[in-house]
Structures are given as structure tokens and as C-alpha cells.
DNA sequence: AAATTCAGCTC
DNA sequence: GTACGTGCTGAATTT
């Protein structure tokens, strides 16, 4: 029998005997929501012990209003759980899921103004202040986060998943998203091993002696002096784009902005030192001494992951720019003594996802090559890999002009189903309609303002603006089906890996920890002796994830996994 | 003080 | 090689 353990801050209907002293309540229910044992009132800091006990004896799926709110505390107390259902994350998916069962629940959550936190209040039991609590207790607990509400919404969410093939996919997505929430909290808890000494060494090498905050480092000051001399602008602050642009224009350099990639086109003595300045200025401000002081503690970098933070289902992060760690500082990501990093990434994931989505057998055949782009090149681009890659990326991102646009007809002739699918997705978006990923994560509705202005545009300029917005929306929906399904594959990959690592631990093998995730790349921090075993688990999990999503299909999703001491050694 | 712009980094 | 998709962050600048 399936069992669910609902965790909440309090219960509306069953106030604790000594009001104010209980800190949480746990209710074990079956799939219909029927209580299996009386609710457990938790006092003081006993929640980890209660959870550990139930986890060991019952192995329930834990239902939280938000894993992010509850799990870090459990981890800090040394308690891990296997499975969860995150009501808030599931709500966000169901709000836009085209194949969810229409009804009261979807209506309730669809109308909420604040998609991040709004609960479907009018669907849920009304808040009731227990009568025996009395008026002397001035702050009646409101219903938000109460056990009855979490349970009711959980049941409504289960009922919103249809009993069909589509429903099975959606159910997988909801489970994977919730597993992602557990993994995110566990990764933050573990932290990325960070060698502060090595980071300081490379900063010293690039910037010169460390200087107090607010003072420009020596190597930057030196270059700034060169720039002022070369541009004949003695007070120039090169950190100000406006000042820099003016100074360059005065010196006869015709540019409209100061972006590095445009400057590379220009021949002028100031360009070389300017690009050198920009490069180290970026290092100093984004990942310099202040960054290390603020974000690395006890040899660990612990970013917070925001599961489902990107509309496509990719994760975002908060704190330290975790998903944009520049290659420049990756040598500072270093395993502890006796341990190694296992760095794995899914090779050319998105075009392979497109092959699976579109059931394009020709593209699937190209995907059996280890290098998919070479496979495409051999099939229709006269062996020219660079052209094949540009064309494929253009198809997935919506490039219309340039090289990529010119190559599109050839790509479409070779892979009509794959290119046809992304073109269909783009057309949906341009028409104001939505699309969804393979597992059923849907796009948010097009902004109402655009849909209205579309029909109202009268002048030619308005018409052009509306069309441009439409194409932009089309590029979004085109990319959404690929990026979003790739994110689902990656979630399943990590979920499968976590399961295997936990099974290893249960059997007495220290499989280490997942410590970092970057869209299609994962990093593990493992005892050196177990590295080969973990690499095998990584590959196994990838095969398993592919089959979990797509069943048995002729598309390969190869991953590369390397064993290294520091992140820069992983190419 | 808060919001916006610019730029650069990652996938 | 190209200038097309999703984000976060910091400094300068504007409101």
C-alpha cells in the first residue's frame, strides 16, 4: 500500500494540548487521504527524530508544502529521506500543464495572482480557530501551511493527473521535480569543495597584490593608465560604459557600444589593453576576493538551487552565481585529500532530445554516432561538421539570418520530421498558443497585453512591433520543447543516480555525494577508491533515464564521465 | 533608496 | 563559427 507522510506546521482541527508548544505535525495517510495512525504532534526540535523513525519503519513519500522550506533543517540534523512530493513545485507545473484534468483545482490555481506562493485558498478547508484556544491567545494560527490544507491540496493534485499515457508522463514529471528538490537541498548541504588557497593564488597571478575593497587592483590600475594615455582621457573610469564609449568615439573609434565581441573587430592600439582590462575586471568583480569571502566557508561553496526556477524547467540558482562559474577559476574546485571529483556531462543532449521528440529516424541514426554533429555532417553537409552544428543550433534557437538561416533548407531536407517539429512549435508560439515538453510541462500563457495589441495594431509601426513580438514568442516556444525536455531528461538522470548511490550506501559502499548540477552536467565528490564504481552508476543512470522517459527508442544519450582532482581538468 | 541599463559569464 | 534560447550578478547610472 502506498503511504504518504504529510508534514505541516500545525493542524487546524487538532490543536496541541499545550497550545504553542508543538512545532510541527505529521500525518500518515493512504492514497485516499485516510489517516493510518493518529497525527503525530512534534515538540521542540524532535522533527528529525520523528522523520527518521517513520522513514526507517514505513518508507512513505513525504509531502511538504515546500521541500526547500523543510528539508535543509532535516539534513542539518543528519536525516535524509528517499521520496517526496513538493506541493508548491507541483502546483507550478499543474498550473500550465495542458494535459492535467480540468476542474476546480486547476481553476483555483490558475487564477492566483502570485504564482510563486499562492495556495488555492477557496478550494481548501476554511481556517478555523480552535474553540478551546480562547481569546487570550492573541494570534490565531492562520490556515496557510496547515496540515489539512497541505493534505487537501496534495489530494487535489493527485486527482488532477489523468489515468492515461499522458497522465503517466505527467506523474513522472511531478515525481522527478520533487526528487530534484531533494537533490538540490542535499547538494547545498554537501557543498562544492573549494580550495581558497588556489583561488587566491590565481587572483594574485591575474590581478597583483591583494588590495582593500574599493581600491583597484595593481594590474587593473596599470592597464587603466595605459587606456587613459592611449585615449587621451586622463580621468577616464574604464568601468563606466558611458565614459568609455565617449572617450573611444572622441579618439575616432566608431562603435555604438563597448561590448568585447564588437571590439575584437576593430584595429586600434587601445583594443588589446582594453580587452585585457575587461577580462581581469570581470574576474575581480564577479569572482574575486570578495566573492571568496562571501560565498566560500569551511572549504565549501554552497549555492542555493531554485528548482524549476527557469520557465523551461531548468534550475536557476541564488548566491554566488553558481551556474556561471567561469572556466578561469575552475582550478579552485578541488577534491578533498583521498577523494576525487567525478564530472559527467550529457554529450550534445538537446539535438538528441529533438531526435527522440520528433521520432526522426534519420536524426536518430546520426545520433548513434558518438559525435552527433559529425553524423549530421556526413549525412547532408558534405562532411562539414561546423556547418552542421551551426544549422542544428539555429534550428533549435530560431536563427533566421546569417549562415545558420542559409543552411536551414538543407537541414530540413535531410531531417524533415525534426525540423518540422521545431517549426511547428515556433508557429504555435507566433499564433499565441502554447506548447509542452515530452512529460507535459507547458509554457505559461502569452501575456494578455500582447494578444490584445495583436488584434488592435493599426499603424504599420504597431503592426511590425506586434509581429516582432510574435517571432520572439515563436523562438521561445521553439526552444522550449527542446530545452524543457532536456531538463526532464537531466532530472531523471540525477534521480536515477541518486537512487543508485543510496542503494550503494545501504549496501555499505560509500558512493560519495552529488555536489553540483549545471543543466546537462553533474559533479560528484567521492572517495577515490569508489570512483570507478560511481562512473559506472553515472552511465547506468543515463541509460535508465532515457528509457524511463522515452521507452525503447533508437536514440543514444551518451554521457562522458571523467575522474579528476579539480574541475579545470574536466574538459 | 530603488529601479534600470550595460556588460559578461554559463549552458 | 554566430549574434539566435534560458538565466544571475555587479557597477554605473537614472529615477
Q: Is the CB of A440 under 7 A from strand C?
A: no
Output the distance from A339 CA to C3 C1' rounded to whole Å: 42
CA distance A234 to A228: 5
Output the distance from A43 CA to C4 C1' rounded to whole Å: 55
pLDDT in tens, chain A (571 residues): 899 999 999 888 776 666 567 889 999 999 999 999 999 999 999 999 999 999 999 999 999 999 999 999 999 999 999 999 999 999 999 999 999 999 999 998 885 544 444 444 444 433 333 344 433 333 444 566 799 999 999 999 999 999 999 999 999 999 999 999 999 999 999 999 999 999 999 999 999 999 988 889 999 999 999 999 999 999 999 998 889 988 998 888 888 888 888 888 888 899 989 999 999 999 999 999 999 999 999 999 999 999 998 899 999 988 888 988 999 899 999 999 999 999 999 999 999 999 999 999 999 999 888 889 999 998 888 888 888 888 898 899 887 777 788 888 889 999 999 999 999 999 999 998 999 999 999 998 887 777 777 777 778 777 887 888 888 889 999 999 999 999 999 999 999 999 999 999 999 999 999 999 999 999 999 999 999 999 999 999 999 999 999 999 999 999 999 999 999 999 7
- Its sign, for the CA torsion A296, A297, A300, A305, is negative
Q: Is the CB of A238 under 7 A from strand C?
A: no
Q: Which of residues 500-559 of A touch strand B (CB under 7 A)?
A: 518-521
Q: Is the CB of A434 under 7 A from strand C?
A: no
Grid cell at residue A537: 552508476
- Its sign, for the CA torsion A236, A240, A243, A246, is positive
Grid cell at residue A555: 536514440
Grid cell at residue A550: 522515452
Q: Is the CB of A438 under 7 A from strand C?
A: no
Domains of chain A: 4-189 (3.30.420), 196-293 (no CATH), 309-349+488-569 (3.30.70.370), 351-482 (1.10.150)
| Interior angle at CA A485, CA A306 and CA A545, nearest 5 | 90
Q: Which nucleotides of C are covered by protein (CB under 7 A)?
A: 1-14
Return the bridge partners of A334, or none.
A566
Output the distance from A281 CA to B7 C1' rounded to whole Å: 11
DSSP H or E segment with residue A525: strand A521-527
Grid cell at residue A443: 509554457
Output the distance from A276 CA to C8 C1' rounded to whole Å: 23
Amino acid at each position: 500500500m502506498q503511504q504518504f507522510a504529510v508534514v505541516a506546521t500545525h493542524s487546524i482541527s487538532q490543536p496541541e494540548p499545550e497550545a504553542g508548544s508543538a512545532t510541527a505535525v505529521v500525518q500518515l495517510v493512504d492514497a485516499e487521504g485516510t489517516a493510518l495512525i493518529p497525527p503525530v504532534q512534534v515538540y521542540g526540535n524532535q522533527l528529525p527524530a520523528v522523520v527518521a523513525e517513520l522513514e526507517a519503519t514505513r518508507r512513505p513519500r513525504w509531502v511538504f508544502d515546500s521541500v526547500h522550506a523543510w528539508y535543509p533543517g532535516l539534513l542539518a540534523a543528519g536525516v535524509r529521506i528517499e521520496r517526496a512530493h513538493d506541493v508548491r513545485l507541483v502546483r507550478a507545473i499543474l498550473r500550465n500543464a495542458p494535459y492535467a484534468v480540468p476542474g476546480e483545482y486547476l481553476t483555483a490555481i490558475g487564477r492566483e495572482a502570485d504564482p510563486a506562493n499562492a495556495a488555492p485558498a477557496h478550494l481548501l478547508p476554511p481556517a478555523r480557530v480552535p474553540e478551546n484556544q480562547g481569546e487570550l491567545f492573541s494570534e490565531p494560527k492562520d490556515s496557510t501551511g496547515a496540515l489539512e490544507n497541505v493534505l487537501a491540496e496534495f489530494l487535489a493534485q493527485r486527482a488532477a493527473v489523468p489515468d492515461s499515457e499522458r497522465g503517466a508522463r505527467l506523474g513522472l514529471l511531478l515525481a522527478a521535480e520533487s526528487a530534484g528538490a531533494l537533490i538540490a537541498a542535499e547538494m547545498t548541504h554537501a557543498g562544492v569543495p573549494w580550495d581558497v588557497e588556489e583561488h587566491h593564488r590565481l587572483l594574485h597571478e591575474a590581478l597583483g597584490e591583494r588590495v582593500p575593497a574599493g581600491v583597484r587592483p595593481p594590474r587593473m590600475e596599470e592597464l587603466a593608465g595605459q587606456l587613459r594615455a592611449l585615449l587621451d582621457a586622463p580621468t577616464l573610469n574604464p568601468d563606466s560604459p558611458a565614459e568609455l564609449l565617449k572617450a573611444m568615439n572622441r579618439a575616432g573609434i566608431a562603435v555604438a557600444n563597448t561590448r568585447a565581441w564588437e571590439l575584437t573587430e576593430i584595429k586600434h592600439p587601445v583594443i588589446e589593453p582594453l580587452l585585457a582590462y575587461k577580462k581581469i575586471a570581470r574576474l575581480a568583480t564577479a569572482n574575486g576576493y570578495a566573492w571568496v569571502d562571501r560565498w566560500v566557508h569551511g572549504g565549501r561553496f554552497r549555492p542555493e538551487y531554485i528548482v524549476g526556477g527557469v520557465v523551461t524547467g531548468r534550475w536557476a540558482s541564488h548566491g554566488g552565481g553558481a551556474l556561471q562559474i567561469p572556466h578561469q577559476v575552475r582550478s579552485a574546485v578541488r577534491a578533498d585529500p583521498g577523494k576525487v571529483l567525478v564530472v559527467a556531462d550529457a554529450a550534445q543532449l538537446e539535438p538528441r532530445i529533438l531526435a527522440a521528440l520528433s521520432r526522426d529516424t534519420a536524426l536518430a541514426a546520426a545520433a548513434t554516432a558518438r559525435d552527433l554533429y559529425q553524423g549530421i555532417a556526413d549525412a547532408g553537409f558534405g562532411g562539414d561538421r561546423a556547418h552542421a552544428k551551426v544549422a542544428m543550433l539555429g534550428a533549435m534557437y530560431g536563427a533566421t539570418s546569417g549562415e545558420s538561416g542559409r543552411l536551414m533548407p538543407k537541414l530540413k531536407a535531410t531531417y524533415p520530421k525534426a525540423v518540422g517539429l521545431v517549426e511547428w512549435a515556433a508557429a504555435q508560439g507566433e499564433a499565441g498558443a502554447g506548447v509542452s515538453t515530452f512529460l507535459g510541462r507547458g509554457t505559461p500563457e502569452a501575456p494578455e497585453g500582447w494578444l490584445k495589441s495583436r488584434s488592435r495594431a493599426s499603424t504599420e509601426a504597431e503592426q511590425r512591433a506586434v509581429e516582432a513580438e510574435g517571432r520572439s514568442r515563436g523562438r521561445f516556444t521553439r526552444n522550449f520543447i527542446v530545452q524543457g525536455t532536456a531538463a526532464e531528461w537531466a532530472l531523471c538522470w540525477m534521480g536515477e543516480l541518486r537512487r543508485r548511490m543510496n542503494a550503494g550506501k545501504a549496501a555499505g559502499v560509500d558512493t560519495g555525494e552529488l555536489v553540483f548540477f549545471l543543466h546537462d552536467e553533474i559533479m560528484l565528490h567521492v572517495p577515490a577508491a569508489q570512483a570507478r564504481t560511481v562512473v559506472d552508476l553515472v552511465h547506468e543512470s543515463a541509460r535508465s533515464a532515457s528509457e524511463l522517459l522515452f521507452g525503447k527508442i533508437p536514440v543514444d544519450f551518451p554521457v562522458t564521465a571523467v575522474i579528476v582532482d579539480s574541475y579545470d581538468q574536466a574538459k
